């Protein structure tokens, strides 16, 4: 475990559990209207995430993972139940929650530095302060040589690193990530996963990460919340007791293999059930 992450964990563990709850999702149901009537996307979902935790939402396609994430972000409104972040009800998007999507969605006319400093400038920070924030994050993501480059000159992985840094520029307490590495090739994806863990160790932000990739979830997370096929429910809350820092070789660890087997069996059963329901 890195020095930064170890110190962060020590602070959290020394505090009362209730004082460290960053995200509280309580009995949340999410319903959409469709031509065939109402569709329940998530059904009475409840979980809590402590400050500084890295939690993955894992489940088959269409199980409501992204919908739950969007509700924490404030993009969706629960049909019932409540979502609180840092003790406050979520009533809409806010700078306390950064969001990273599958595609980077960078401003093509802005440089790397300008993309990252956009948020602080929009929050009213002086140009010099916004630039300092951007340069610190650029150094963290290893793109100092590309600070003045434009998005079209960067690889997909580099663009996504900029998107992550931009989401962190407002110093959010929570970083929400919706399959951010899903569009990357396998090798780049592994590098990005390792880079994200290194960045998280430095900033200590609470992360909620949506994925349908079992290996990705186990490699990244402190906890994996497995969701059922739609309507989404929390099937299992798995604690990932694997040592940090983690490298790709950890896939050979017997604990890793056992966790993957458990996840695979649950996801396979849920995917089969979803397939049969659609038949």
- In CATH terms, 3-96+174-278 corresponds, of 3.40.50.10420, 3.40.50.300, 3.40.50.720, 3.40.50.9100, to 3.40.50.300
Provide φ and ψ at 146, rounded to 5°.
-115, 20
Query: What is the pLDDT at residue 116?
Result: 97
Please state, in angstroms and rounded to a whole number, the distance separating the CA atoms of residues 92 and 72: 9
Query: What is the pLDDT at residue 59?
Result: 87
Average pLDDT across each block of 10 residues of the chain; the chain has 279 residues. List them in order: 52 59 95 84 94 94 90 94 95 94 94 96 94 95 96 95 95 95 90 93 95 94 91 92 89 93 86 64
Where does the chain hold its CATH 3.40.50.300 domain(s)?
3-96+174-278
Q: Output the pTM of the full model.
A: 0.90
């Amino acid at each position: 475990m890195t020095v930064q992450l170890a110190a962060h964990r020590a602070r959290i563990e020394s505090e009362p559990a209730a004082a460290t709850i960053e995200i509280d999702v309580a009995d949340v149901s999410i319903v959409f209207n469709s031509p065939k009537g109402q569709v329940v996307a998530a059904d009475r979902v409840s979980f809590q995430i402590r400050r500084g935790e890295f939690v993955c939402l894992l489940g088959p396609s269409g199980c409501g993972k992204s919908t739950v994430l969007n509700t924490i972000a404030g993009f969706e409104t629960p049909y019932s139940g409540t979502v609180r972040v840092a003790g406050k009800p979520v009533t809409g998007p806010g700078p306390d929650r950064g969001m990273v999507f599958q595609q980077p969605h960078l401003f093509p006319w802005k440089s790397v530095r300008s993309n990252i400093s956009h948020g602080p400038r929009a929050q009213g920070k002086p140009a010099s302060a916004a630039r300092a924030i951007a340069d610190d994050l650029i150094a963290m993501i290893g793109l100092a040589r590309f600070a003045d480059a434009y998005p079209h000159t960067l690889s997909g992985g580099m663009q996504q690193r900029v998107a992550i840094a931009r989401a962190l520029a407002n110093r959010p307490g929570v970083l929400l990530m919706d399959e951010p590495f899903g569009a990357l090739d396998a090798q780049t994806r592994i590098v990005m996963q390792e880079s994200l863990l290194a960045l998280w160790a430095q900033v200590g932000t609470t992360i909620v990460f949506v994925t349908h990739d079992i290996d990705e979830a186990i490699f990244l997370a402190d906890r994996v919340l497995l969701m059922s096929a739609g309507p989404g429910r929390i099937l299992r809350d798995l604690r990932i007791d694997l040592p940090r820092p983690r490298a790709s070789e950890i896939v050979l660890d017997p604990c890793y293999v056992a966790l993957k087997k458990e996840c695979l069996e649950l996801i396979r059963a849920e995917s089969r059930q979803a397939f049969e329901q659609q038949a």
